[in-house]
Each structure stands twice: as C-alpha cells, then as structure tokens.
Amino acid sequence: MDLQAIDLGVARGGVPVLEGVTFSLGLGRALVLRGPNGAGKTTLLRTMAGLQPPLSGRIEGAEDRIAYAAHADGLKSMLSVTENLSFWADVFAQRDIEPAIKAFDLTGLRTRLAGTLSAGQKRRLGLARLMVTGRPIWVLDEPTVSLDAASVALFADAVRAHLQQGGAALMATHIDLGLNEAEVLDVGKFRAVPRVSAQDEAFL
Ligand SMILES: Nc1ncnc2c1ncn2[C@@H]1O[C@H](COP(=O)(O)OP(=O)(O)OP(=O)(O)O)[C@@H](O)[C@H]1O
C-alpha cells in the first residue's frame, strides 16, 4: 500500500504552515521534499511520522510502517555501538544488526560508547538504526548533516538498497543524493495562506 497524504494541513506552534498537501509514495520509490528554510519540510515529515496530528486532511498507509530519523540522533551515549543497535533491534523485534553495521561502516567502532563518537559517526549510527527497524518506509529529516562525502555515498547506497528490497523513503535534504529513483516535491506550492480574521475585516 502506498503512503499517502490527502489534502493534508500541518501546523507548527499552532500556526498553519502547509495546506492541501497531496502526494503518494509507492514502495520502491523515494520522494525528496524541497523548499527553503522554514518552508515546512520538518513539520510535514513529523506529521507523516505520526509525531504530531494533522491540522486537516488525512494520511493513509503509515500505521506501523514508518521508521523516522530526525536531526537529533537520540542515541544512548552510555551504550556501545552494537548495544545501541541491539537495543533498537529488540524494540522492533528484529535480530540481525550485522547488515546495518556493514552498510554504515561501523565495524571498527563496535565497542565504542556512542557518546564518544564524532558527529558524523553518531549520524552514521543513527541512520544504521533505520535498517534494524525492519520498517518499510524511511522518513528522514536532513539525513546527511555532519556526513562527509564518503558517508553520504554509504547512505545513498543504503537508501538505494532499501528501495530495491521494496522499501520507500520520504526525505528532506538540500543535497543531491544521486538517486535516480527519487521524485521531488516542492512544498512551497502548499504554503498555508495567512488567515484574515473577522475582526480585521471591520477595518478594510
Ligand atoms: N515550536 C515552534 N513554534 C512556532 N513556530 C515554529 C516552531 N518550530 C518551527 N516553527 C516555524 O514553523 C515553520 C516551518 O518550520 P519547519 O522546521 O517545518 O521548516 P523546514 O522547511 O524544515 O526548515 P529548514 O529547511 O530550515 O529545516 C517555520 O516558519 C518555523 O520558524
């Protein structure tokens, strides 16, 4: 089943940010959200991931199918790299963390406490967690922040493999990952129109 946004309205801090957002994301596909800073990409991704309710419209095909990775890595600093991944694998009733360790080049860091990793290494570990969720739809907010060119390439490979295995990815990123499969959605066209209140109309 596709992940669908249907006439979706999203708000931040009580203020409508986007409205009428409609798209469909099929398995095997990637959709990249574009738009300038503050356009509403994070707000839309958080809503799609179920972290906040929509203001209007609806979302189909999301239930228990989304793995979300945001700016904050949310790693357990006093657990090692393998312990962090095993913890997440347990949460999602998965077992094998080896493909994730390999895909994100974490082999030499297995026993390191997550709190001692560099920013880019933490990011790699945060993204590796996606693979141990077993969830088909990855929702990613600026996944390449702190990553060097080699790590961006690893990440792009992991997304490509995920799509080839029948997964899907919805992401906000300012950089081109070189994913031929990716479609682009400019959120600017869904910008919410500021409402003129009834009180203001008396002064027109
Ligand atoms: N807690 C908050 N309260 C009120 N407004 C907020 C809050 N957080 C964000 N906003 C505003 O909501 C709007 C949408 O922000 P959002 O983070 O979704 O944009 P974005 O497209 O992801 O931006 P960026 O590319 O900078 O990450 C912005 O105008 C932002 O200032």
pLDDT tens for 30-57 read 999 999 999 999 999 999 999 999 999 9
Q: For ligand 1, say whether the CB of 188 is within 6 Å of any of its atoms.
A: no
Q: How confident is the model at residue 204 (pLDDT cuts 50, 70, 90)?
A: very low
Q: What is the pTM of this model?
A: 0.91
Q: For ligand 1, say whether the CB of 166 is within 6 Å of any of its atoms.
A: no
Which of 41, 45, 71 to mutate to test ligand 1, by most ligand atoms within 8 A of the CB atom?
41
Of 114-123, 144-153, 156-165, 189-198, give the lowest mean pLDDT range.
189-198
Query: ipTM value of the model?
Result: 0.92
Distance in angstroms (rounded) separating the CA atoms of residues 81 and 163: 25
pLDDT tens for 75-124 read 999 999 999 999 999 999 888 999 999 999 999 999 999 999 999 999 99
What are the backbone angles phi and psi of residue 59, rounded to the nearest 5°? -120, 135
Q: Kindly state the percentage of the chain with pLDDT values over 90.
A: 83
Q: 136 is written with which tokens?
A: 């088909």
Q: Does position 180 have pLDDT exceeding 90, yes or no?
A: no
Measuring CA to CA, how many Å separate 197 from each of 170, 191, 194, 201, 202? 35, 18, 9, 7, 10
Ligand 1: centre distance to CA 165 (Å): 33
Q: For ligand 1, say whether the CB of 135 is within 6 Å of any of its atoms.
A: no
Residues 6 or more apart in contact with residue 171 via CB below 8 angstroms = 30, 31, 32, 33, 45, 138, 139, 140, 141, 143
Sign of CA dihedral 46, 122, 30, 62: negative
Ligand 1: centre distance to CA 40 (Å): 6
- Average pLDDT for residues 171-188, to the nearest whole number? 89
Q: Kindly state the percentage of the chain with pLDDT values over 70.
A: 94
Q: 53 is written with which tokens?
A: 């309710």
Q: For ligand 1, say whether the CB of 38 is within 6 Å of any of its atoms.
A: yes
- Average pLDDT for residues 188-198, to the nearest whole number? 77
pLDDT for res 124: 95
